Amino acid sequence: MDYEEQEETGKYMCSICNYVYDPEVGDPEHGIPAGTAFEDLPDEWKCPRCRQGQDKFGKA
């Protein structure tokens, strides 16, 4: 499968600790319900593992 054909997963990975945010799971421990797209996370949401901001995340 070519990279261009790869299906978008909606997952984002932290470039600091490699935590993967999966919108199908959300982050229920921090009040983010399943089904919340990364783009829809509140501005104050940070990586639950290393507490870095969303600017440290890239598409997984």
Write the pLDDT tens digit of every residue in 18-56: 999 999 999 999 999 999 999 999 999 999 999 999 999
Domain holding 18, by residue range, is 3-59
Query: Could you tell me the CATH number of the domain that includes residue 55?
Result: 2.20.28.10
Q: Domain count for the chain, please give it.
A: 1
Question: Per-residue pLDDT for 13 more than 50?
Answer: yes
Do 59 and 20 touch, CB atoms closer than 8 A?
no
Distance of alpha carbon 6 from alpha carbon 58, whole angstroms: 16
pTM: 0.85
Structure tokens at 29: 């421990």
